Structure 1
Amino acid sequence: MAHIEDEHEKVWDLAEKIGFCMLTTQSGTDLRARPMAAYAERLENAFYFLTDVASHKDEEIARYPNVCLAFADSKGQKYVSISATAEVQNDREKIRDLWATPAKAWWDSPEDPSIRVLKITPSAAEYWDSPGTVISYIKMAAAAVSSSKPDMGDNAKVQM
């Protein structure tokens, strides 16, 4: 059981460290991704995002609540993909709790009536955590010479 708990912690640690992700929603038959600042709430098993009521995300999520969060630190060779369910909330207290510098680029204050909260509840995740770009290239080069497969770090699928 400790191993499963460690994998859960690894998902949360990587997502929190990376901070920004691509939020993918479904729009009809198309998938749309956009960069978002993620607020991870481990104890609630949720990620939160601030969004605008006028954005298309709200409509897409209302119709198709399954979403994907893709976190990427390409320099550190660390990645997390989270399958989840999303819901749009008009929780003014949560908006005030989440209010931070990135939000100031979009709204004047947390009291702006057009702000909404996206609550994302993860169901499954997969992460890739390699030792970094330079070491990865060295391992790949060594594997190519020796005809073996390189050890590229940790990878796990996790039920959330």
Structure 2
Amino acid sequence: MAETHKEQLANLRQKIENVKFGMLTTVNPDQTLSSRPMTAQQIDAQGQMWFFTSDKNAFTKDLSRQPEVNITFSNPDDSLYVSVSGRATLVHNRDKAEELWNPMAGAWFPGGLDDPDLALINLDIVTAEYWDSSSSKMTQLFAIAKGILTGQRPTDVGEHVEMKL
């Protein structure tokens, strides 16, 4: 039975809740890709991911021209890798900023919620996928070694799930 939209969002939220930073990739004016670390503040019930940012960052100006972005999260110690794609918008919304505000955000915005550079990125999630292995490292290494010896791809090293949100 396929997961519902709500279940998919809950699963995605659970996967990345303990991964502190993701790498947000945007398209530059010259069509090259550029990435920077970001901290996801929330994935809401509508499938929106929220980030604090400065509206003085050069990449935020490019979002209106090229809103398609990707953010990846990884926790190699747990063999977890997550990729989220969607459309990003730069937002100035005091109420949402208040809802998401935390001490870590305060480190980047010394003026607090009144900081003139404070903005939010709203990422409307379109697709997400993850690779997750609950197998022990030894089991994963054994499966890879077996693949090398048999000439066949390793199996049972984890799950790969694609979500269309």
Give the structure-2-normalised TM-score.
0.86
The answer for the alignment partner of 1:3 in structure 2 is 2
Report what 2:19 is aligned to. 18
1:125 to 122, 125, 128: 128
- Contact 2:41–2:52, Cα closer than 8 Å, also in 1: no
Structure 1: gaps (5+ residues): none
Alignment of 1:59-138 (within 5 A): 59-108=61-110, 109-131=112-134, 133-138=137-142
Residue in 2 that maps onto 1:152: 157
Spell out the pairing of 1:9-48 with structure 2 (5 A cutoff). Answer: 9-28=10-29, 29-48=31-50
Contact 2:9 2:47 in 1 (8 A): no
Corresponding residue for residue 139 of structure 1: 143
Deviation at 1:96, TM superposition (A): 1.6
Residue 7 of structure 1 contacts residue 156 of structure 1 at CA under 8 Å; is this kept in 2?
no
Relative distance call for 1:7 and 1:89 in structure 2 (3 A) is closer
Q: Deviations over 1:60-83 (max 9, x none)?
A: 111101100111111111011111
- C-alpha distance in structure 2 between counterparts of 1:159 and 1:104, whole Å: 34
Contact 2:9 2:45 in 1 (8 A): no
The range that moved more, 54-63 or 143-152, is: 143-152
Amino acid at match of 1:21: G
**C-alpha contact (below 8 Å) 1:8/1:158 kept by paired residues:** no
Could you say if the C-alpha distance between residues 74 and 50 of structure 1 is closer, same or farther in structure 2, counting changes exceeding 3 Å? same
Amino acid at match of 2:22: C
Shift of 1:139: 2.1
Distance (Å, rounded) in 1 between the aligned partners of 2:18 and 2:78:
11
The structure-2 alpha-carbon separation of the partners of 1:152 and 1:7, relative to structure 1 and needing over 3 Å to count, comes to farther
What percentage of residue pairs aligned between the two structures are identical?
A: 26
What is the alpha-carbon distance in structure 2 between the residues aligned to residue 146 and residue 99 of structure 1?
53
- The structural deviation recorded for 1:7 is 4.6
- Summarize the Cα distance change of 1:79–1:25 in structure 2 as closer, same or farther, 3 Å threshold: same
Superposition CA RMSD, Å: 1.8
Q: Which amino acid aligns with 1:86?
A: A
